[in-house]
Structure 1
Amino acid sequence: MRAELQEAVTLLRQSDEQSVQKAVMLLQRTVFSFSMKVCGHREDAEDTMQDVLLSSLPHLRKIEDARALSVWLYTAARNRCWRSRKRPSYRKSVALDDLMPGDAELAAQLAASVQSPEALAASHQDHQMVHEAVLQLPPPYRIVLVLHDMEELDTAQVAKVLGLQPGTVRVRLHRARLLVRQQMDKLLRGQPDHASPASVSSGTAARVRPSQCREIFGNLSEYLDGRMETRSCNQMQAHIEACPACIAFIQDLKAAIDRCRKLDIPMESETGTTLRRVLAEEYLRLVEHGEAAEPEPPGPSEKSKKHL
């Protein structure tokens, strides 16, 4: 969970104009950045920010826990984002086999892994490239990646925002990470992407994967996030340490996840200045008159459910 949300809750409790304005600014930045990562359109992100914060005012006084605030805000922002523009249609499901690297890709990663850390860091600093890669993901995977790895919600919070089972969140998160790594690799190499990432196989030739390799590949996110049982983790660690290609691929995957986590899209300084003042004044008025609604999170709209 973003530290800004915890700070905003603390500031709102102080109920003075300066603190409330700062809290509203933090909420504006959070909703705007999230909306840009999901929708990719600045105008839509600004409209989402305004609509979500206006609708949240009656509830903010009752929300004393930052986790509850994050679920409320992201649920409302997600619903508003999906309504803002017509989305292209994507396959809902992405097969794990389509995301497994082929021999040529593994060889290329092995070669790239011997570059100096400075060269690798310099090639990975393009935030615009990262944002473009994220926007190429099918919406059901993009939203999970953004909420978990970029907005720092845990699995339970993401599940609550999206109305999914935690296990489904973990499966989609892993595929989303593999998809965004694949897309970043294409962009870094300057390869055109003529098809939806959900329909492109990274292998150079179709072949049957050994069951052990597929099992390890399917559990990489659980391994990286420290969620595996000790015995399984040790077995996986032993396999990885004995396989240079596995080491190179995991390093590439971890680098992609790290670049996603570092991506933040700042709001222009002038954006929302007047709105922030109006929202702060209205919040203080509601507090003074005791007008606060129960903080019931908005449920998924019918239009947004098809993207889950």
Structure 2
Amino acid sequence: MDALQEILYQVNRSMPNFKEKSSLYTWVYRLGSNVCFNFRKKRNQTANQVEWDESLYHSMMLPIEQPNEDPDRMCEVKYKQYLVQQAILKLPENQRILLVLHDIEGISSSEIAQILNITINAVKSRLHRSRVALRNIISKGFSVKGMEGVGTFSVNSSGHLR
């Protein structure tokens, strides 16, 4: 809530400086991400450790493609989505940010480049490395605390989850 309040304050205070060189969405997203990074930095300096608010990622679910699907199949799909989310949490922050922005939030590479203040080519290469790292985490297998006996998944030769 403190970060949200600070973001709204910064947007209100900085709106006269908005030059329309990018979309308003990108500008606000960049401002918001800077505020959040600063909040995290302050928190990490006092805590001396990185702690992720996993509840944010637990609520991040991809839509089920066929809502009238067999309930068992729907549970299997939901479980695989949950495992992918847990695998994403195992990525380093810089890789996780790119995957979340591009693959989950659907933000374009050019907008991500503006938000993170890097080139589009850097976004594309880092995104590729992030996906490879995620694929490696998934293919090696891992367990989720409290769900060790529920089941596992693997990646087939074409790179799709089984």
Question: How has the CA–CA distance of structure 1 residues 184 and 70 changed in structure 2, closer, same or farther, with 3 Å as cutoff?
Answer: farther
Structure 1 residues 201-216: aligned runs within 5 Å: none
Unaligned runs of 5+ in 2: 51-68, 146-155
Partner of 2:92: 138
Partner of 1:125: 78
Specify the SS of the correspondent of 1:124.
Answer: helix
Matched, 1:79 2:44: no
Question: How has the CA–CA distance of structure 1 residues 64 and 132 changed in structure 2, closer, same or farther, with 3 Å as cutoff?
Answer: farther
Counterpart-to-counterpart distance in 1, 2:89 and 2:110: 24
What's the offset of the Cα at 1:138?
0.7
Matching residue's letter, 1:167: N
- Identity across the alignment (%): 25
What's the offset of the Cα at 1:165?
1.5
Specify the SS of the correspondent of 1:246.
Answer: coil
Counterpart-to-counterpart distance in 2, 1:81 and 1:62: 20
- Calculate the TM-score normalised by the size of structure 1: 0.33
Matching residue's letter, 2:105: E
Counterpart-to-counterpart distance in 2, 1:72 and 1:151: 16
Counterpart-to-counterpart distance in 2, 1:78 and 1:53: 12
Cα deviation digits, residues 49-89 of structure 1 (max 9, x gap):
22112211245588697x6222222212222222323265x
Structure 1 residues 224-243: aligned runs within 5 Å: none
Larger Rg: 1
2:110 to 150, 156, 166: 156
Matching residue's letter, 1:177: R
Counterpart-to-counterpart distance in 1, 2:16 and 2:33: 22
Unaligned runs of 5+ in 1: 1-45, 89-116, 193-244, 256-308
Question: How has the CA–CA distance of structure 1 residues 82 and 132 changed in structure 2, closer, same or farther, with 3 Å as cutoff?
Answer: farther
Which structure carries more helix by proportion?
A: 1
Specify the SS of the correspondent of 1:153.
Answer: coil
Matched, 1:52 2:7: yes
Structure 1 residues 54-69: aligned runs within 5 Å: 54-59=9-14, 68-69=23-24
Aligned length: 123
Q: Is the 8 A contact 2:86 2:144 kept in 1?
A: no
Question: How has the CA–CA distance of structure 1 residues 77 and 122 changed in structure 2, closer, same or farther, with 3 Å as cutoff?
Answer: same
Structure 1 residues 1-308: aligned runs within 5 Å: 46-59=1-14, 68-83=23-38, 84=40, 85-86=43-44, 88=50, 121-126=74-79, 129-184=83-138, 186-187=141-142, 190=143, 246-247=157-158, 249=159, 251-252=160-161
What's the offset of the Cα at 1:191?
6.9
Q: Which has the higher contact order (CA 8 A, sep 6+)?
A: 1
What's the offset of the Cα at 1:141?
0.9
**Cα RMSD after superposing both structures:** 3.4
Counterpart-to-counterpart distance in 2, 1:191 and 1:55: 38
Matching residue's letter, 1:145: L
Counterpart-to-counterpart distance in 1, 2:73 and 2:137: 17
Counterpart-to-counterpart distance in 2, 1:139 and 1:64: 30
